[in-house]
Every structure is written in structure tokens, then in C-alpha cells.
Structure 1
Amino acid sequence: MITGSMVALVTPMDAQGNIDWDSLTKLVDFHLQNGTHAIVAVGTTGESATLDVEEHIAVIKHVVKQVAGKIPVIAGTGANSTREAVHLTKNAKEAGADACLLVTPYYNKPTQEGLYQHFKHIAEAVDIPQILYNVPGRTACDMLAETVIRLSTVKNIIGIKEATGDLERAKQILDGVSKEFVVLSGDDPTAVELILMGGKGNISVTANVAPREMADLCEAALKGDAETARAINEKLMPLHKDLFVEANPIPVKWALYDMGLMQEGIRLPLTWLSAKYHETVRNALRASGIRKI
């Protein structure tokens, strides 16, 4: 089962916006060494919206090859075109990904029936475990609990990343799906509470800079050790909050650069973190114990 702390991995780039393969290798090693339970390659935090199809597939292949089966690799393969999502999902399977993460179609605003048919079609087209991904704040498309419950019985659809931060919504889903269906948080501040309610883990932005801490947090919550999990979460709360002072992944890429783990690179239309927020993010790293000075 896919469970625990799953990093929504950034895609490192150079100053011209080209993929920095050496830094990608360094980041994957960083997670393998620090207890991350799974890697999500080319999701929202990986700038999936601005990588072309060839780059998208190349990043998945690179991560799969380097991980070499040590932990699961989940490939982001969602798109607002069902045909494109099928194409990406097929290629992720061929690359050796363990599962795929499929965001709700953005911009074109499908109905709930359209969402059901979209995800059902992909699941029937590609025989690989698939995780739904609901993040209406980014997509302008909200997949309601009843649609998730309906999709939970479709072969190959094994779970959902529920990123609304709405614990009542998460409870609705948990109450309506089988115990085998994997409900994951996609919201770092509320992940502990979702796991304690019966969720199986968290797809995390914070884990990019605090992999060991997020792994410990998820392990404690999965064991039902609420006191330990909440204590870790409280310490990490400055990061949960301040890694979103500008649109993700702008702040987290700057934080990784500040930590010496990647170059100063991001792809338009996203821009490098505004100077006025540098100390805000650096102070969050300090307050969370990630940066010592």
C-alpha cells in the first residue's frame, strides 16, 4: 500500500529554466536518505503545467531509474484533456512508475458527471494504480465527495489526494469508501488530523525541505500517536504556512536554493521568490529547525 510521507518533488532548473538533472539526482538522494516514503514526480510542485510532454516523461524516467524500487514513485499524469492524460499515464506506466496521480481537469470546468467519465476512461485505458487529485484552489474544479465515492469502485482507481484542507470533506470520503481505498492529504497543515481520522498519508510540499520530520510526523500519526504527530506538526507550522507566501512552488524552490540543494531556477510564468519574502521563508526554516543559522 502507498502510505506515509510522499514528497511532491520540485523539478530543479537552471537560471534559463532548463531542467537541472544533477540537482534532481541530488534531491532524490536527499529523500532516499531521509526517510521519505514515496516520491511524486511532476505534480503541481514539479511544475507539470509548464513542462512539455517529452520533459514530463523524461523526469519520471529519471526518478524511477534512480529510486530503483527502494520506495514507490508516483507520476503526475493529470491534464485537462482526457486524451493527454491517457497518453501521459501510458508513458508513466512504461517508465516503471508504481502509480499515477491525476489532477482534476483545470480551466474547462467539467460537471461532476464529466469528472466521473474522465477518470473512469483513464482507469480503463491504462492498467496502473491511479490516485485522484482534488485541488479546487488551483483548478477551479471541485470534485465532490459523492463523485469520489462513486469513482472509488472503479478498477485501478486506488485513492485520492484531497487537498482542500476541509476535514469534514475528508470524513465524508472516508465514511463512503472501502478501507482499501487510500485517502491522502494534500494539505500540510491539516495532514495529521486527516491521518488520525483514517487517512493513509500526505503528499507534501513541506517534505521537500523537511523530509525526515514529515516522515516522522506521518509515521506517528499512522500509529495513532497523536501527541507526537501534533508536536512535530506544530514545529513545522511556520513552513506549512510560509511556503505559500507566493504561489507554490515559488517559495519551496527558493528554500531549496537557500539550503544549497538546487540552482536558482523556475519557469515562466512563475518567477523567482520576491526579495521581500526571502527572510520570511528563511525564518520559517530556522523556526522549524531546518536551518540552524
Structure 2
Amino acid sequence: MENSQKGFIPVMLTPFLSDGNIDYPALTQLTEIYLQAGSSGLFANCLSSEMFELSDKERIAAIKHVIKVVDGAVPVVATGTFGGPIAKQADFVKAVSDAGVEAVIAITSLLADESESDEVFNDRVFDLFNQTSNIPIGFYECPVPYKKVLKPQQLADFVATGRVIYHKDTCLDLPQIKEKLKLTAGQAFGLYDAYIVHAVESLKAGSSGLSCIQGNYFPELIVWLCDHYNDNALKDEVQVVQQFLIDNMDVMHNVYPVVSKYFLQKRGLKISTFTRRNVGSFTPTVVKEVEKLFDDYSALRSDLNIEVFI
């Protein structure tokens, strides 16, 4: 996942049928949209995928489906730890690895309780490494069940083993990201920032790319930002895009992922707004806000001459 060219790694949605089962034709189309937009990898079975609402069987089936559709075009990573004894987590890491992913993602908050020390957490991580042979590992500072942010030196120690190749960072703190990048420099490792508010500065600081929910509305815009963040000829346009993303943070996070599925419907994707997770009410007010977002994005996309496939 380490790449000299900045890349976008979408945190994938899971489309559902109206009866609550996974909609595999829609998942195929969604995967193709991410690829057509220029994504450099995919993060399947993540929080945006409603991973906690899926069974183990569904998790593996969805991951395998994505890998089949991708057909080697880009690497795919997927979550493989869901709590319990490390031996149990290691078994599922192996199952996810066997599905064909580039790296298996460990959820930091499921390796130790909030009350447990960093030493306990570190011991569990190294235990997981020991029980999973040489499977490449990534970390995701998922906010559920609580947010466990890795300290820069912790991350550096894990990366130094050669086992960790990917990190989805949610610390929201640019100085901390810079320290993480400094301490992991020269390693075959990529840090992908989830916080779109400082996306441009994070990319300039050395992040390998972005891995944010905004890509579930307009993946081609996030790819454009990764491609042009440091283009002096487009510095004004880059600032406009960064500000657009900042201004619409609240709209895109409210009642998510229902709102992003509705937005994708407006783009032409045959996807329902069904979600297994209770994320609040999709009220007429929220609908109106998303429709304004769609209109504003359509105008921005036109101004930037960004090609879209739906």
C-alpha cells in the first residue's frame, strides 16, 4: 500500500436489498465506480461497510466478491479483528487473508479495552503478529466501540517489524500525523488520512493518501485532490476543493451512510438507502441538504472538468 504517488483508498459501503440482505449486483457496480474514479486501493469490510452488523460469513462473502470484481486491478484490504481472545481474532485474520486481501486490518479499539494500558495493547498486537505468521497487517483507528489512537512511537515500533503496511489514521491532529510519518520514514508502509479538513496539508506532509467517507459521495473528487494537491498551477482550484469539503463535513456525516447511499442514487447507482445500523432519521431537512450538496458538487465538477462514469 506504500506508494510514491498519492492515492485514495475508499472505505467501502455495503449495499443492501430492501429485505436487508447484501445486494451483490449493487456491490459490483459500486466497486466498479471506485475503480473508474481512479482509486488506488479499496478498504472492504470497514465501518462504512457496516462491518459490525454483518455476520462472519457475510464479511468473507463480501470481501471475496469485491476481490473478484477488482480482479487484481488494485490492492484490497479488509478488517479481520472483531474482539475476543487474540487466538480467536488471529483465526479470523487468517480467514480474511485467505480471501485474497493485500493486508488484514486490525481495529485498534478491539485489541484492548479503553481502561487498559498501552503496554497491554502492545503485548496484544505482538501476540496477534505471532499468531498470524507473515500476514501483512494494517491498523484502523475506528471510532467504534471507542477511538484508540496509536501514539507515533507505538506505530513506529509496529511498522519496524515489517508486518504493518497500512494505517488508516483518524487522530484528526496534523502535528501527530507528521510525527508518525517522520518515525516511519523509509519503511514499506503507507499512512492514509481519514480527516478531510486537513487533507491538503496531510498530503504535503507525506501521507500516502486519503481514506475518507467523502469518497462515498464523489470518489473522483478525492482522487483529483490526491493528484493535484501540490500542483502550483491549480493551487486556487485545490483550495476551492479543500474548502468545499470542509464546508460540507456536517452534511456528509449526518445520518451516514444513508445520506451517501441517497447521494449515489442521485448519481445513478441502483442502490437502496437501507442500512442495518440505526443512524438516525433521514428527514426531509436532511434530504434537502443532500440534494443541495449534489447540485453544488455537480457545479464544482463541471468547473474542474472532472469526468464521472455515473
Scaled by the length of structure 1, the TM-score of the pair is: 0.89
Q: Does 1:289 align with 2:298?
A: yes
Alignment counterpart, residue 67 of structure 2, candidates 64, 67, 71: 64
Query: Using a 3 Å threshold, how does the CA distance of structure 1 residues 137 and 167 change in structure 2: closer, same or farther?
Result: farther
Alignment counterpart, residue 148 of structure 1, candidates 143, 155, 161: 155
- Comparing 38-47 with 88-97, which one deviates more in the overlay? 88-97
Q: What does 1:3-152 correspond to in 2, within 5 Å?
A: 3=3, 4-81=7-84, 82-106=86-110, 108-109=113-114, 110-126=116-132, 127-136=134-143, 139-152=146-159
- Comparing 111-120 with 218-227, which one deviates more in the overlay? 218-227
Task: Supply the RMSD in Å over aligned alpha carbons.
Answer: 2.5
Deviation per CA, 1:111-161, whole angstroms, max 9, x where unpaired? 212222232233333323222112447624333223222222123112321
8 Å Cα contact 1:161-1:185 kept in structure 2: yes
Q: Secondary structure at the match of 2:229?
A: helix
Alpha-carbon separation, structure 2, partners of 1:198 and 1:140: 23
Deviation per CA, 1:68-98, whole angstroms, max 9, x where unpaired? 0001111122323334432332112111111
For structure 1, the 5+ residue unaligned runs are none
8 Å Cα contact 1:100-1:130 kept in structure 2: yes
Alpha-carbon separation, structure 2, partners of 1:159 and 1:39: 12
Q: Secondary structure at the match of 1:40?
A: strand
8 Å Cα contact 1:266-1:272 kept in structure 2: no
Give 1:190 deviation, angstroms.
Answer: 2.0
Give the residue type in structure 2 aligned to 1:55: E
Scaled by the length of structure 2, the TM-score of the pair is: 0.84
Q: Does 1:214 align with 2:218?
A: no
Alpha-carbon separation, structure 2, partners of 1:229 and 1:121: 43
Larger radius of gyration: 2
2:197 — aligned with what? 189
2:274 — aligned with what? 265
Query: Using a 3 Å threshold, how does the CA distance of structure 1 residues 135 and 191 change in structure 2: closer, same or farther?
Result: farther
Query: Using a 3 Å threshold, how does the CA distance of structure 1 residues 84 and 260 change in structure 2: closer, same or farther?
Result: farther
Identity among equivalent positions (%) equals 22
Query: Using a 3 Å threshold, how does the CA distance of structure 1 residues 28 and 239 change in structure 2: closer, same or farther?
Result: farther
8 Å Cα contact 1:6-1:201 kept in structure 2: yes
8 Å Cα contact 2:170-2:195 kept in structure 1: yes
- Comparing 180-189 with 117-126, which one deviates more in the overlay? 117-126
Q: Secondary structure at the match of 2:18?
A: coil
Alpha-carbon separation, structure 1, partners of 2:22 and 2:43: 17
Give the residue type in structure 2 aligned to 1:68: D
| Length, aligned pairs only | 291
For structure 2, the 5+ residue unaligned runs are 302-310
Give 1:105 deviation, angstroms.
Answer: 2.3
1:274 — aligned with what? 283
Give 1:211 deviation, angstroms.
Answer: 1.4
